[in-house]
Chains A and B, each alone.
Chain A
Amino acid sequence: MSAIFRDALLARRERFNALFAEARHYQPQLDGAAFGCVLIDSVAPLVEAAAAAGADAGEVSDGLYTVALELYGHGMLGPERNDPWVTAGWTAMTGLAGPLGRAPRRVTAAVSNALRNLGQTPGARPAEWIAGLRACAEIMDEPETLLRAGQALAWRCGMAHYRPDALAILAALPAELAARVLGLPDPVRVPEALGRMAVDPWHDPGQPAHPARLTRVARVGGFRGFGGVFLAPPAVTLLDGELHARDGNSEGGIWRVCADAFGATFHRTVIDKWTEAGTRGSPFKLVKGRVSKVGASEADFPDLAVVTSVAANATTLAATTPLSHYIWLVAAG
């Protein structure tokens, strides 16, 4: 433990002891020695990094101690029980020394919660998120702006349901920071990329451009026994313009499905009435495995020769088959 952190602990010893005692009063299983390890392994490096970046070590220690104690109490940080993403995040946050020094509690708590949420969302990519946030912190040390960039980044890392909010955030971020979030080398391309993404959920500005053709852009869902969503082959429909999926027959659970170029998320919901959607009102058609879209060439998908349900909106056709727990998503990608 460095002298900086030791002095910071000593200076607020009474408060820190009181906080731990208070927490242990309500959670008797909290172990002082184990929490000591959290302080040494997770808190000290961040305090030292923030102090090196010019922050007040005492203030930073205070904020981080509080968050670390909370996370330790929840079994998310600690030598015995922990959330691997949160633990990794505390190591990685040395790369956020600037913003962390300005708002230690806000930043560490927000990053920890975000990693927890990303880690618990099937298909989301927490490692990519924290790496992206570190990249953003290289050019932005204002905490709130950085955290807003982190929200947009979460969308790019698989939290597809954040898409509308993320697009709005990206439009308001400094262009250089938005370019980092989108993986664009040149900030000048940001407005055009945002414009395309707004109308096409399958556009990824980080990928090289190629002629648009109908393709299977994603296959989402899967059998719950193998870590997927559904117990039985699902069915799809559109409700209020949003894609929804049902587990097997009419007794099954209902999910709202959010999917785009960066990932897919499923959200349990309750609906009044399930109605078949089909492709009416959309530019798509599906006939015996052949998918066509107004303004695009046709393509054959032998797996979709026999389907149990189809739903399509302006950009995406979703289809399910009798023997699969997956939902096929076809778009002009």
Chain B
Amino acid sequence: MPTDSTPIAKVSEAPTNPGAAPRQKRFDVADLYRGPASTGEAVAGPGAIPLDEKLRQAYFWIVNHAIISPHYDLEYNTDKPPQVFTFGDAKAKLSLPSGQSYSSFVLVPLLNFAVRRRCLLVGGPGRGKTASATLMGILAGYSVREVRRGMQHGQPQMTISDLIGNPLPADLVAAQKMDDIRIAWRKWLSMRVKIIDEYNRIPTRTQSALLTVMGDNYAEILDQIYECPESAWFLTANDDAGGGTYQVIEALRDRIDVVVHTLHFNNRFVDELLTRIEENLKPEEVMPAAIIFNEAEIDRMGDAVREVEFAPALRRRLEFFASQFEFFEPAAEQLEYKTKDTAKLSGIDFRALTALDTGKDKVKDIGAATKNGFSVRALMTVLVFAKALAWFRGYKAVTLDDLRNIVPFVLHDKLVPDTEAPFFDAAGNQVYRVDRVGWIRRLFDLSCAEFDRLSLDKDDPVTALETEFDGGLQGVSEAEARARLVKIERLLAEWGKGRKLYGPMFDDILKLKYLHQRYTNYLAWLLIR
């Protein structure tokens, strides 16, 4: 673990997350110039430290020197179990993790920086949201001044011109056609880190322009287009629940990939604040050059993250978890439409519909605790951020802990709780009406427990059929195709014998229908060939 006793310009020494040491080191003449003094330049080429190591060094520099966030809420354990202590009448738990653990408030924005997505930092005023976003801009190689000038501050009078740019007045008068009108685009559009401070204070119309930039990566005025570079976005909001000056349009909220809460300031660290005041310390002014990423490195980070393996067994757990939420039996007659999305589109009161959903244990059915399901975008974001977290930790494959730790931050604003659902009335669950991160993590744990109870790791008939199908249809004989169709029909018939219908089975049934269709079509093709 890096220590606090290093001077601010010094980054934590590699390896920050030590594994087994290489046995035979290749000698590298570049080592001659490595040592206690930092050259202030990122080393390029074969002698450069790996990018995941550099990102960890950036993380430790930020938590040790810049953002006072002495929290380790993203917990990891080694083979040794954590030590758990309980406090107070309510038995509040504290666990001391046995592995290297992290502060979500610093790590999640850092991962967002690495994969260039959109991160919302929420929390009360003066808790470090803007400071954290500013540091991300400096990490991308911008000066403090550039980051501050490029930061867009949401305010009720903000116009589209304020946000994106304006046509040159002379061209407006002299232009014979639209193409002749030159636009003075705002400089922030060209930055690789984009910061929107208090985005929920931006007027609705301007939010729509922001949506285009955020979602489609271009800006448009008077038919003129500005293509933005791929960027990491950081938005801040004091109140994520829509309490800003303007209601945030849903499409814009949906574009946000991860949401991270500011954690409280531990008052045992007031001395740090005092020193900063007395000695006029400004960490953002003195970020070590060794942890600053250039454009090519940021590109390479994205590539490296994509290469991290997401094993099929883990993918199944994620599928099982995700499939819990969309199914909503009272929403339609035809199975495909029995979804919460159908219910939402109907405009009918959700509570009135949930009253029709009877016969199931609504405490055990975690799908009954939400008003919606996963979007494809949310699922893709889970995959990307889980890979990013594993990569950050120096792993080549995503672990279950990575998935468990990242899911709450991705689904924070995507999974809407039905706080009147019986789940929240169950003993010990009331707190989840308030604690969104804890609630989602609890849902994930319950889903994994159910997955284990059903032994789906070992015995999953749909996976077996999928594997068979993934082998390809080429060369499958008519008899074989018919046999597979029979297998699917038998399985459906067996499932139809009275088991209650829950989300995962809903997806499985539809998958079986898909496979049945593919075989049916194949069989038809075989017969007319």
B32 touches A70 (CB 8 A): no
Q: Which of B19-27, B92-100, B226-234, B359-367 contacts A (4 or more CB under 8 A)?
A: B19-27
Return the CB mask of B166-193 against A: 1 if under 8 Å, else 0. Answer: 0000000000000000000000000000
Q: How far is the CB of B269 from chain A (nearest CB, A)?
A: 12
Tell me which residues across on chain A come within 8 A of B280, comparing CB atoms: 14, 17-18, 21
Q: How far is A181 from B247 in the complex, measured between Cα atoms in Å?
A: 70
* Residues in B lying within 8 Å of A, measured CB to CB: 4-10, 23-25, 27-41, 65, 275, 279-283, 285-286
Q: How far is the CB of B276 from chain A (nearest CB, A)?
A: 8
**A165 CB-CB contact with B under 8 Å:** yes
**A232 CB-CB contact with B under 8 Å:** no
Q: How far is the CB of A273 from chain B (nearest CB, A)?
A: 13
A109 touches B40 (CB 8 A): yes
A–B pairs, 22, beta carbons within 8 Å: A22-B281, A25-B279, A27-B6, A67-B38, A73-B7, A76-B36, A109-B37, A110-B33, A113-B39, A114-B35, A117-B32, A117-B35, A118-B32, A150-B33, A161-B27, A162-B32, A165-B28, A165-B29, A166-B29, A267-B25, A269-B25, A271-B23
Q: How far is A18 from B29 in the complex, measured between Cα atoms in Å?
A: 35
**A57 CB-CB contact with B under 8 Å:** no
Contact residues, A157-173 vs B (CB, 8 A): 159, 161-162, 164-166, 169
A22 and B8 in contact (CB under 8 A), knowing A14-B280, A165-B27?
A: yes
B27 touches A67 (CB 8 A): no
Tell me which residues across on chain A come within 8 A of B282, comparing CB atoms: 18
Return the CB mask of A56-98 against B: 1 if under 8 Å, else 0. Answer: 0000000100110111011010000000000000000000000
B37 touches A112 (CB 8 A): yes
A63 touches B40 (CB 8 A): yes
A116 touches B23 (CB 8 A): no
Tell me which residues across on chain B come within 8 A of A169, comparing CB atoms: 29
Other-chain contact of A21, B24, B34, B279 (Cβ < 8 Å): B279
Other-chain contact of A67, B8, B37, B65 (Cβ < 8 Å): B37
Tell me which residues across on chain B come within 8 A of A224, comparing CB atoms: none
A162 touches B37 (CB 8 A): no
Q: How far is A261 from B63 in the complex, measured between Cα atoms in Å?
A: 49
Other-chain contact of B41, A71, A106, A165 (Cβ < 8 Å): A106
A70 and B38 in contact (CB under 8 A), knowing A165-B29, A267-B25?
A: yes
B29 touches A147 (CB 8 A): no
B281 touches A25 (CB 8 A): yes
Tell me which residues across on chain A come within 8 A of B283, comparing CB atoms: 22
A151 and B32 in contact (CB under 8 A), knowing A17-B280, A105-B39?
A: yes
Tell me which residues across on chain A come within 8 A of B279, comparing CB atoms: 17-18, 21-22, 24-25
Q: How far is A105 from B40 in the complex, measured between Cα atoms in Å?
A: 7
Other-chain contact of A269, B23, B36, B40, B281 (Cβ < 8 Å): B23
Q: How far is A67 from B9 in the complex, measured between Cα atoms in Å?
A: 9
Q: How far is A166 from B33 in the complex, measured between Cα atoms in Å?
A: 14
A23 touches B32 (CB 8 A): no
Q: How far is the CB of A36 from chain B (nearest CB, A)?
A: 17
Other-chain contact of A25, B25, B31, B41, B275 (Cβ < 8 Å): B275
Tell me which residues across on chain B come within 8 A of A151, comparing CB atoms: 29-30, 32-33
B285 touches A15 (CB 8 A): yes
Q: How far is the CB of A175 from chain B (nearest CB, A)?
A: 20
A113 and B9 in contact (CB under 8 A), knowing A14-B280, A26-B4, A165-B27?
A: no
